[in-house]
Structure 1
């Protein structure tokens, strides 16, 4: 996440990738207003170009490797 990004609510399971419809883990806030949502795959693919165009990127892909809170103790 960049320091310039205004605080926004975390992405949830209802947020979907604008390219493929998978769960979104990346939000690109465009310099001209508005935002785009991407899955981890499309976020990696487009983030560099979007940053170069002045977009701020909210990257929550680290959530993909978290252990769920409901996992049994032996899996934590």
Structure 2
């Protein structure tokens, strides 16, 4: 008998109240970090940090 556990990340949709953690503009992207934290980015700051987020294994929800 095998135990196939699956982890599902459920992300609530971004709203107008969600703001970029860098500049306070409307958030367009949520990045969930492997350690469980999350960061919100406007499109500009996401583009600036995308490569590092990928290196860190972040799950991105746009």
What TM-score, normalized by structure 2, do the two folds share? 0.81
2:19 to 16, 21, 27: 16
Cα distance, 1:5 vs structure 2: 6.9
**CA displacement at 1:7 relative to structure 2:** 2.6
2:61 is paired with a residue of what secondary structure? strand
Structure 1 alignment gaps of length 5 or more? 60-76
Deviation at 1:54, TM superposition (A): 1.0
Moved over 6 A (4+): none
CA RMSD across the alignment: 1.6
More helix by share: 1
Unaligned runs of 5+ in 2: 1-6
Number of aligned residue pairs: 56
